[in-house]
């Protein structure tokens, strides 16, 4: 099975969430693999008002180039188009974003025109369920300038063993910043990103999905980290990879820890006592 979605303009994420809520999904694979689903949107330019607000919400300084995480925002409606497509078997609400890797080959100017292509990949069987990825490629004038791999988990019973390394994290931070994460950060980020998943908006809506309170977006955490590290990011190509750990229940106080080794930057986001992990990642200079 295969579907290619050619979009003429970015779709409304609210209409996509409505489709996600109202559509019926089987909740299991039809066969051994996911269908091939692709989505394309060409001639995309960042809207300056939204870009300015995104910088404020995520802590990026003013710059002539897009924040490294911003193309994810432009691609997010395409991700949703793939996930609400009738061929995709799992319900959108309930999926867990577990990892995100971004490779920036060169900085993208604030007003450059981009072509975006997204493609479904996977799944891989893990102990907690099935993991699948959406691969995104951003091109300018036919040349690849940015790409990402967003990996999500669909929780279900499997026979796979938990092969994760459970040894203690040996990371030793050189710097620690203390963040106060506001109660409304999920709503503020939803407004600039289009990601209005109810688990991020209010405690009441998050409880419907088993959370004690609403939680911060994982991609806000990554963007906030990149905003802090932007003065140290290389002018040339680099890759930033993160694994999302325990959710941040809002409001919260957290520690952002990092260490620059010269060709890599290691970082962690932990609770206010520096114990429970929320996010672990690194920047690799290419």
pLDDT of residue 239: 98
Cα–chain center distance at 261:
25
- Classify residue 34 as exposed, middle or buried by CB count within 10 Å of its CB (0-12, 13-18, 19+): buried
Q: How far apart are CA 207 and CA 171, in angstroms?
A: 34
Q: How far apart are CA 140 and CA 115, in angstroms?
A: 6
Region of 207 please: left (phi>0), alpha (psi -120 to 50) or beta: alpha
pLDDT tens for the chain, 286 residues: list them.
789 999 999 988 888 888 888 888 888 887 778 999 999 999 999 999 999 999 999 999 999 999 999 999 999 999 999 999 999 999 988 899 999 999 999 999 999 999 999 999 999 999 999 999 999 999 999 999 999 999 999 998 888 888 776 777 889 999 999 999 999 999 999 999 999 999 999 999 999 989 999 999 999 999 999 999 999 999 899 999 999 999 999 999 999 999 998 889 999 999 999 999 999 999 999 9
Q: Omega of the bond prior to 224 within 30 degrees of 0, cis?
A: no
Helix (H), strand (E) at residue 221? helix 218-229
Task: Name the token pair of 230.
Answer: 């932007």
The Cβ of residue 88 has, within 10 Å, a number of other Cβ atoms equal to 19
3-state DSSP call for residue 5? strand
pTM, full prediction = 0.95
| DSSP class per residue in 14-25 | HHHHHHHHH---
pLDDT of residue 146: 98
pLDDT of residue 192: 95
pLDDT of residue 27: 82
Query: Helix 48-58 and helix 185-193: axis angle, to 10°?
Result: 150
Superfamily of domain 2-285: Hotdog Thioesterase (3.10.129.10)
CA–CA–CA angle 269, 275, 278 (5° rounding): 30
Helices (H), the chain: 13-22, 48-58, 70-84, 185-193, 203-207, 218-229
Sign for the pseudo-dihedral over CA of 228, 229, 235, 239: negative
3-state DSSP call for residue 200? helix
For the chain, the structural domain boundaries read 2-285
Task: Name the token pair of 237.
Answer: 């190509």
């Amino acid at each position: 099975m295969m579907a290619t979605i050619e979009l003429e303009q970015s779709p409304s994420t609210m209409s996509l969430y409505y489709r996600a809520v109202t559509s019926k999904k089987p909740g299991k694979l039809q066969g051994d693999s996911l269908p091939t689903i692709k989505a394309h949107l060409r001639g995309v330019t960042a809207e300056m008002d939204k870009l300015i607000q995104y910088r404020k919400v995520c802590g990026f300084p003013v710059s002539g180039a897009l924040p490294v995480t911003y193309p994810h925002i432009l691609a997010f409606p395409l991700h949703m188009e793939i996930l609400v497509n009738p061929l995709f078997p799992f319900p959108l609400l309930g999926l867990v974003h577990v990892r995100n890797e971004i490779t920036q080959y060169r900085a993208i100017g604030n007003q450059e025109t981009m072509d975006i292509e997204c493609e479904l990949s996977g799944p891989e069987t893990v102990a907690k369920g099935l993991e699948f990825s959406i691969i995104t490629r951003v091109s300018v004038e036919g040349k690849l300038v940015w790409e990402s791999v967003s990996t999500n988990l669909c929780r279900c019973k499997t026979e796979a063993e938990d092969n994760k390394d459970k040894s203690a994290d040996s990371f030793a931070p050189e710097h620690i910043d203390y963040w106060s994460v506001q109660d409304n950060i999920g709503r503020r980020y939803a407004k600039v990103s289009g990601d209005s998943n109810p688990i991020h908006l209010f405690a009441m809506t998050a409880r419907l999905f088993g959370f004690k309170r609403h939680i911060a977006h994982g991609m806000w955490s990554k963007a906030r980290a990149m905003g802090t590290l932007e003065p140290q990011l290389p002018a040339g190509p680099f890759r930033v990879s993160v694994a999302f750990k325990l959710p941040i229940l809002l409001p919260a106080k957290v520690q952002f820890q990092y260490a620059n080794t010269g060709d890599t930057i290691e970082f962690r986001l932990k609770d206010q006592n520096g114990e429970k992990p929320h996010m672990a990642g690194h920047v690799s200079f290419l």
